[in-house]
Amino acid sequence: MSWIDLVALGFAAGVPINAWLHPGGLFEELVEWIRVWSEFVPTDEKQTPTREDRIKEKIGQLLTCPFCLSHHTPWILILLCYFPSLWMSYPWDVIFKLPVYSMAATQITLIISYYMKDTDG
């Protein structure tokens, strides 16, 4: 992995999290369903959470927490995009890395537009 790949990975890591947790976004209903699914609700016959209930709660926390996701997203991108590119020759290795480069460009564009909006007055 070159230094430009590492920089691109650093910028790209936040894009899937932003898309996943964006309010009003494409995945909003799915994220809300995960929150409801993972929440333990005591009933008359079950007052304390079982092991399965605690596991569901931890999965729900992992999939709905931006801080938690930020630790796992880079590794997933490495496994999906960089690891396979190690066995590819020239044009194909770049094609495997292309999603990371495009997500990095998206993140840089979002950062620039955020700061340009502040300077507009």
Q: What is the pLDDT along the chain (121 residues), one digit of tens a residue?
A: 789 999 999 999 999 999 999 999 999 999 999 999 999 988 888 889 999 999 999 999 999 999 999 999 999 999 999 999 999 998 899 999 999 999 999 999 999 998 888 665 5
DSSP 44: S
**What's the CA gap between 73 and 79, in Å, rounded?**
10
CB-CB contact of 96 with 88 (8 Å): yes
- pTM of model > 0.85: no
